[in-house]
Chain A
Amino acid sequence: MRFLRFAAILLLITPLSVFGQGTPVRDQRAVDVLQRLLVVFGSTLPGDYTASGTLTVYAGGSEDSGTIRILGKGLRQYREEITVGGQKQELTFAALGAKVTDGLGKRPISPANAESMRGAIFPLTRIASDLVQATTGVEYLGLEGEKTAALHHLRIRTASFLDEDPKEAGTSVQTETEVWIDATTYLPRKISFNVFAEGAPKEPIPMEVVYTAWANFGGAPFPIQVEKHLNGTLLSRITIQSVAINSGLTDAQFSNR
């Protein structure tokens, strides 16, 4: 499957009742904006993509530079490979959860963080991935100004239920993503969501991903300047230099077994 047809995704965005009782509200203004967003990206999503670039990591007053490679396939498979100072870190988001791999081995990423951080650098597949879930609601929060641009502010809520066992009733990963979309270009300007430290599920830490520049690769826009902010502080700055579309990535490249 070289391309994911938007038709299926558009159908999944628009209906408000086909999913039956309990379907979260998707208000019409938000749906309109998301449909415009999808149109900007053409009629298809790439079946897979490989982006390469550089990044600078900021922590504790120091700056460290390295490279980053981002792989995506379909809506749920996503991988970041980061190399800084000869040390490699891989974040793999597959259907079966997410894991981080480094010199110390492979460890799981908590479900809450996995759902929040999946596909954050390439927001279209992330948004589409949320919208295909029946448990996802979309809310239009308003038109906001930022410098000279007007931004549509949306909130996307998803609930991934983890366990249907009655004893675990209510146990689910609730993910809330706020999205700001440029009212002129209909490209995402930034998204924000919460991440959680290990052992502290009640302490949300806001993370913001800002897309400051876009370029076309294979006919589809791709962010080439991305900044990640944690709790209001710059965490990393990413520059994408090349993007290969539909190069035939395999599921095995996203295995986290």
Chain B
Amino acid sequence: MRKLTILALVFVAVQICAAQGPATGRPPFGSFQDGEFDSVNLYNLNVNFAIPIVSMPGRGLNFNYALVYDSSVWKKAYISGVGNVWRPVTDASGNATWGWKRTDLVPGGIAYSTRQDEICSTERWHPALQEWIITPYYATYYYNYAYTDADGTRHPFDVAFYGSNPSQCVSQGIQIPTGPRTGTATDGSGILLDASSPTAPTVTEKFGGVSTFDSNGNFITKTTLTGGEVQWKDTLGRIVLRIVSGSDAGGNFRDYFFRDASGTEQKYRERLKTITVSSAFLCSGVQDYNSVSAIVVDKIELPQVDGITPTYVFSYDSKGRFTQVALPTGGTYTY
């Protein structure tokens, strides 16, 4: 049956592979084995954990920022006309995450897919080529909207529509649906999506807002300064978090500055490293992903305590999945 997989089973999987990657975070109604540090999804064995950086409650608008990791770093993708391939899980911009979520959490990361559908066509005779040239007209179909919350949980929406009707098709009497563009998450979480502007959608949680504004007028503003520093300010103009990237003898790092309960600025340092990974699953009918450089978190250094820097240290295998985390307390989790 192995041969069948090349042409048949590969295409059976179209519907499975065409949508999105593995379920990460804590999907509603999922079954999990919760540890003191991590949470394992018993359906797909994805390991999820979050290292909180800032948690600032507000009147309707909370600000939470955490470094979130999901161990499912590969997804099976279908390329029309080619077949199935392994691909790295990516963020909304199409960049490989290698498990680490760096989406801005206010507002939450909203991803969507687009494709071009042929709606109608026109024909004209090309005298030089002695051929009929048929010109198809397409419209953009927006679909697969999903919001990833602060815990890295993906909330999908059954919202799909065309951006607009091609004028050439309208003149032929062909109309396609361009809405509705709002909807509630299909996972029962109550999160509302508004995709009135297809490429700039917003979401609102049922209980309390995570959009830029809440119903009381409170807001969180994200600003990227010259030089790359990213700041988040609250309604009163206070900096609740700033992120600065740099490098030293230890390699590249990203510093997260925040204020503790006493108002003193503290720092988490996330050290990065580059590893070479490949899928190499050798699954029949699915082409493996060639060796590629992956930037992953090497360690996270917490504010010093009595002259000691508590540190998380992470290890990864050749497929880019993490295999061990050493906790600041000295304990380790091995996977």
State the A residues within 8 Å of B (CB): 1, 4, 8, 11-12, 57-62, 64, 66, 74-76, 82, 84-89, 91, 95-98, 100, 102-104, 107-114, 117, 132, 162-165, 167-168, 171, 173, 195-203, 205, 207, 230-233, 235
Instruction: Find chain A residues with CB under 8 A from B174 CB.
Output: none
Check B7–A89 contact: CB distance below 8 A: yes
Name the residue on B nearest A111 (C-beta): B116
Instruction: Find chain B residues with CB under 8 A from A233 CB.
Output: 287-290
B80 to chain A minimum Cβ distance, whole angstroms, is 4
Q: With A113-B79, A199-B18 known to touch, is A167 a contact of B163 (CB < 8 Å)? A: yes
Q: Which of B17, B82, B281 contacts A230 (CB 8 A)?
A: B82
Check A196–B79 contact: CB distance below 8 A: yes
Check A60–B287 contact: CB distance below 8 A: yes
Name the residue on A nearest B1 (C-beta): A85
Check B118–A108 contact: CB distance below 8 A: yes
Check A4–B129 contact: CB distance below 8 A: yes
Q: Could you show 20 A-B contacts with beta carbons less than 8 Å apart?
A: A59-B285, A74-B129, A74-B131, A84-B6, A85-B6, A87-B8, A89-B11, A97-B118, A100-B81, A162-B166, A163-B138, A163-B139, A163-B164, A163-B168, A164-B168, A197-B85, A198-B18, A199-B20, A199-B77, A202-B90
Q: Which of B8, B94, B128, B285 contacts A102 (CB 8 A)?
A: B8
Instruction: Find chain B residues with CB under 8 A from A110 CB.
Output: 80, 115-116
B264 near A: Cβ within 8 Å? Answer: no
By secondary structure, the B interface counts as mixed
User: Would you list which residues of chain B between 139 and 174 have a CB under 8 Å from chain A?
Assistant: 139-140, 144, 163-168
Q: Which of A86, A113, A162, A202 contacts B80 (CB 8 A)?
A: A113
Q: Which of B11, B82, B166 contacts A165 (CB 8 A)?
A: B166
Encode contact with A along B103-121: 1 for CB under 8 Å, 0 otherwise. Answer: 0000000000111111001
B232 to chain A minimum Cβ distance, whole angstroms, is 25
Instruction: Find chain A residues with CB under 8 A from B165 CB.
Output: 165
Instruction: Find chain A residues with CB under 8 A from B84 CB.
Output: 59
B291 to chain A minimum Cβ distance, whole angstroms, is 8
B2 near A: Cβ within 8 Å? Answer: yes
B283 near A: Cβ within 8 Å? Answer: yes
A167 to B167, CA, bound (A): 10
B115 to chain A minimum Cβ distance, whole angstroms, is 6
Q: With A89-B7, A96-B136, A104-B12 known to touch, is A60 a contact of B81 (CB < 8 Å)? A: no
B19 near A: Cβ within 8 Å? Answer: yes
Check B164–A107 contact: CB distance below 8 A: no
A4 to B126, CA, bound (A): 13
Instruction: Find chain A residues with CB under 8 A from B8 CB.
Output: 87, 102-104
Instruction: Find chain B residues with CB under 8 A from A89 CB.
Output: 7, 11
Q: Count of chain B residues with Cβ under 8 Å from any Cβ of A? A: 63
Check A202–B93 contact: CB distance below 8 A: yes
Name the residue on B nearest A47 (C-beta): B130
Name the residue on B nearest A207 (C-beta): B82
Q: With A59-B287, A74-B131, A108-B118 known to touch, is A198 a contact of B77 (CB < 8 Å)? A: yes
B45 near A: Cβ within 8 Å? Answer: no
A97 to B81, CA, bound (A): 12
A84 to B1, CA, bound (A): 11
Instruction: Find chain A residues with CB under 8 A from B85 CB.
Output: 197, 205, 230-231
Q: Which of A4, A11, A61 contacts B282 (CB 8 A)?
A: A61
User: Would you list which residues of chain B between 1 and 38 have a CB under 8 Å from chain A?
Assistant: 2-4, 6-8, 10-12, 14, 17-20
8 closest Cβ contacts across the A-B interface? A85-B3, A202-B94, A197-B77, A162-B138, A61-B282, A95-B134, A87-B7, A167-B164
Instruction: Find chain B residues with CB under 8 A from A1 CB.
Output: 130-131
Name the residue on B nearest A203 (C-beta): B94
Check A111–B138 contact: CB distance below 8 A: yes
Name the residue on A nearest B278 (C-beta): A233
Name the residue on B nearest A8 (C-beta): B128
Q: With A75-B129, A171-B116, A231-B290 known to touch, is A85 a contact of B136 (CB < 8 Å)? A: no
Check A165–B167 contact: CB distance below 8 A: yes
Name the residue on A nearest B164 (C-beta): A167
B42 near A: Cβ within 8 Å? Answer: no
A8 to B325, CA, bound (A): 66
A60 to B13, CA, bound (A): 15
Name the residue on A nearest B113 (C-beta): A199
A207 to B80, CA, bound (A): 13
Check A198–B133 contact: CB distance below 8 A: no
Q: With A203-B87, A233-B287 known to touch, is A96 a contact of B121 (CB < 8 Å)? A: yes
